[in-house]
Amino acid sequence: MHPLSSDPGLIKTVATGAARLVLALALLLIAAGVGFAPHAHALKADRLAPMDVEADTLETLVNEGRAVLTGNVRINQGTLQVTAAKAEVSQNDKRQVSRAILTGTPATLAQDLDEGGRLNARARNIDYNVADGIVVLSGDVEIDQPRGVLRGQRVTYDLNTGRMTGGGAEGPGRVSLRINPDPPSDPP
């Protein structure tokens, strides 16, 4: 029996988990721009587009409530593009997505902005704990958008409070920000 046909509910959970992960990552990228581009918004039309998920392999672990996609994982929705070597989606006892983890060298996310330009993010590990509303990017994190760049070894974003912290891999460390100047306005 093909693994996709073993549990249609878990397959739907994988798609839902991917959608929640993508939304959380888009929110993280927008939040990362708050310090230097408060008006940056991910392309709204992307939320209405269908989501396509591809990978070399899919393994569903029904008894554990997990699904693992490996090899050239790609998630596309409108202009949003996510790539990873591996994506793991877990669900709780109520069959709701509880955690999604992307890993790669690096895992990447890119999306057009309503205001023009593009957000690009990369990290070796992107971990979204749905229950806690926490997204953690770790390992050579870089978030780049038209108004600037944020780099560090670890960036944590709390979707509940909007609080973002950055630093070293395990605790305090250095982050760097590059804030680009406003583009010149046209004379009246």
Predicted confidence at residue 8, as pLDDT, reads: 53
Domain total for the chain?
1
Does residue 136 belong to any structural domain of this protein? Answer: yes
Q: Is residue 186 part of a domain?
A: no
* The token pair that represents 60 in the structure block: 């569903």
Burial of 149 (0-12, 13-18, 19+ CB in 10 A): middle
CB 135 within 8 A of CB 157: yes
The answer to the question of residue 30 being in a domain is yes
Q: Domain for residue 120, yes or no?
A: yes
Per-residue pLDDT reduced to its tens digit, 140-156: 999 888 888 888 999 88
Domain of 105 in residue numbering reads as 3-179
CATH code for the domain in which residue 125 is found = 2.60.450.10
Residue 185 lies in a domain: no
Residue 3: strand, helix, or coil = helix
- Residue pLDDT, tens place only, 64-117: 888 899 999 998 888 888 899 998 888 888 877 788 889 999 998 888 877 788
Determine the Cα–Cα distance for residues 166 and 93; give it in Å rounded to an integer: 32
> Per the domain annotation, does 46 fall within a domain?
yes
